[in-house]
């Protein structure tokens, strides 16, 4: 747990978190380039060096946890379906200062998300809770998030930075309007610097429960 403590302290004390520093390297959009039509196209901003930690198979029959952040409910729905499919526990990542619809307006250059996107130092958002009961007992952890400007919504980075993934199989998943999962899972794997991370899966707003269950079952957990 040494990593867990030092990362959390770093997040709380230093202000500019490891997550922010990492994301700084993958975000090149200027404030003036952000618009509703360009938000998906900045997916290329996440082209930071890929981690070699991603693998294609999971071998576990132990306990499973689904951790998710969802600003408007889409990722939450996918997380619930995954949990129902494998009989997993759920943990919601909740920012201490929750995002309002005004905060999420990416067409407004001065909205909260736009300011956080344009200034990596603002992305280390504090969370209500990063401690999962019985964390050490979970062998497999699904990590779900919306795509924001081509990368994982940064509240999930705060969660990943605060926890120790050593010895765990980690399965990223995301929802988006049109972007693929891109490098988002690999960037989180680099941030965690522990665990065996799969490539992950992206779902759209129209993905069905059957689509989600089919993917989960294909993992052979
Ligand atoms: C700030 C912000 C940035 C977004 N950036 C992208 C993007 O780059 N590509 C994309 O396809 N969708 C993008 N979206 C849409 C969300 O990824 C999509 O609606 C997602 O399913 C929302 O998940 P949620 O309801 O769990 O919050 C963005 C949404 C927001 C609020």
Nearest-atom number in ligand 1 for the CA of 176 is 17
Q: How high is the pLDDT of residue 61?
A: 60
Is any atom of ligand 1 closer than 6 Å to the C-beta of 39? yes
The one-character DSSP state at 95 is B
Handedness of CA 25, 104, 123, 197 (dihedral sign): negative
Q: What distance lies between CA 170 and its chain's CA centroid? A: 11
Verify whether ligand 1 is closer than 6 Å to residue 75 (CB atom). yes
The number of the ligand 1 atom at minimal distance from the alpha carbon of 69 is 26
Distance 124 CA to ligand 1 centre (A): 18
Which residue, by CA, sits nearest to atom 28 of ligand 1? 148
Domain spans of the chain, in order of start: 62-100+125-218
Of 94, 59, 50, give the one whose Cα is nearest residue 168: 59
Would the CB of 178 count as within 6 Å of ligand 1? yes
- Partners of 65 in the β-ladder: 89, 141
> Ligand 1 pocket, 65 CB below 6 A?
no
Specify the pLDDT at position 133: 97
Query: For tokens 């490098």, what's the residue?
Result: 183
Q: CATH fold of 62-100+125-218, please?
A: Rossmann fold (3.40.50)
177 CB under 6 A from ligand 1? Answer: yes
Note the pLDDT of residue 41.
36
**For the whole model, what pTM was predicted?**
0.79
List per-block mean pLDDT (blocks of 10 residues) for the chain, which spans 221 residues: 34 34 33 31 35 41 93 98 97 98 98 98 97 97 98 98 98 98 98 97 98 95 82
Q: Can you tell me the distance from the alpha carbon of 125 to that of 189, in angstroms, rounded to the nearest whole number?
A: 19
pLDDT given at position 124: 96
pLDDT at site 141: 98
Closest approach atom of ligand 1 to CA 104: 31
Please state the atom number of ligand 1 nearest to the C-alpha of residue 43: 8
Q: Cβ(203) to ligand 1 under 6 A? A: no
| Ligand 1 contact via 46 beta carbon (within 6 Å) | no
Q: How far is ligand 1, taken at its centre, from the CA of residue 149, in Å?
A: 7
């Amino acid at each position: 747990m040494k990593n867990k403590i030092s990362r959390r302290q770093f997040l709380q004390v230093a202000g500019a978190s490891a997550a922010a520093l990492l994301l700084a390297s993958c975000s090149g959009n200027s404030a003036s380039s952000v618009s509703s039509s360009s938000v998906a196209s900045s997916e290329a901003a996440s082209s930071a060096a890929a981690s070699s930690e991603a693998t294609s198979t999971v071998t576990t029959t132990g306990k499973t946890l689904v951790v998710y952040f969802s600003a408007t409910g889409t990722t939450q729905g996918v997380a619930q379906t995954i949990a129902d499919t494998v009989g997993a526990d759920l943990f919601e990542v909740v920012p201490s200062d929750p995002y309002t619809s005004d905060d999420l307006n990416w067409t407004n250059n001065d909205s909260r998300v736009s300011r956080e996107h344009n200034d990596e130092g603002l992305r280390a958002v504090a969370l209500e809770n990063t401690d999962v009961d019985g964390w050490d007992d979970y062998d497999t952890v699904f990590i779900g998030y919306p795509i924001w400007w081509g990368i994982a919504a940064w509240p999930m980075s705060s969660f990943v930075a605060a926890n120790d993934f050593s010895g765990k199989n980690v399965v990223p998943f995301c929802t988006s309007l049109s972007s693929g999962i891109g490098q988002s899972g690999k960037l989180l794997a680099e941030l965690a610097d522990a665990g065996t991370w799969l490539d992950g899966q992206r779902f759209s707003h129209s993905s069905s429960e059957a689509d989600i269950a089919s993917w989960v079952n294909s993992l052979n957990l």
